[in-house]
Structure 1
Amino acid sequence: MKDPRDIIIRPIITERTAEMMDSLKYVFEVDMRANKTEIKDAIEQIFKVKVANVNTLRVPAKPKRYGRHSGYTSEWKKAFVTLTSDSKPLEFFETV
């Protein structure tokens, strides 16, 4: 089994995701190869909460230019995690 900290890369904190935190929804950048079950188990192990639902999406690479040089940004995977109503909010999001 994979280590849960290898699956969850970092939380995504923006104005939109801060508003979603009121309804116990959190957004994370996750490993591209992780599936929904692995993401759910990782969140439950790391934060000691109960996960109700996990939705994932792949953020595609975008073309970028810097002067005459062109390339692409990296492709990454985003996970929207919904906690159950009886779960406590995640601790490190309290300061936002």
Structure 2
Amino acid sequence: MNNERLYQVIVAPHISEKATLIAEANNQYTFKVSPDATKREIKLAVEQLFEVTVLRVNTVNIKGKTKRTARGFGKRNDIRKAYVTLAEGQEIELGGE
């Protein structure tokens, strides 16, 4: 996979309270990924970008909420998240931890 596609597949790390707890307990890391990315592409991208061994990739599609604004109704963007499980003893440094 070329470098250009690597950076298109992994959009950003998803940092939240739940993602932090999962990372500490299960050695899983959460990323926002491209809507058209496959599990195989996600695995290759994480392995090449962070130089780790990926055991499993689980994905979830999250529909954007409809919110009421002063001008009517609006909708947040849909996102796709990937939960990446790493091999025992490996970790990824995210955000200057």
Q: TM-score, length-normalised on structure 2?
A: 0.88
Q: Kindly report structure 1 stretches of 4+ aligned residues shifted beyond 3 Å.
A: none
* Deviation readout 1:17-39 (Å, 9 max, x if unpaired): 11111221000000000010000
Q: CA deviation at 1:93?
A: 5.4
SS in 2 for 1:91: coil
- Kept in 1, the 8 Å contact 2:34–2:80? The answer is yes
CA RMSD of aligned residues (A): 1.5
Q: CA deviation at 1:92?
A: 2.5
The structure 2 residue matched to 1:32, chosen from 21, 27, 35, is 35
Q: CA deviation at 1:53?
A: 0.4
Unaligned runs of 5+ in 1: none
Unaligned runs of 5+ in 2: none
* Deviation readout 1:49-95 (Å, 9 max, x if unpaired): 00000000100021111113212111110100000114x21022561
Task: Report how many residues are paired.
Answer: 94
- Kept in 1, the 8 Å contact 2:13–2:94? The answer is no
Q: TM-score, length-normalised on structure 1?
A: 0.89
For residue 17 of structure 2, what is the aligned residue in structure 1? 15
Which stretch of the first structure deviates more once superposed, 41-50 or 20-29? 20-29
Q: Distance in 2 between matches of 1:45 and 1:93?
A: 18
Which amino acid in structure 2 is aligned with residue 15 of structure 1? Answer: E
For residue 72 of structure 1, what is the aligned residue in structure 2? 75
For residue 4 of structure 1, what is the aligned residue in structure 2? 6
Determine what percentage of the aligned residue pairs are the same residue: 35
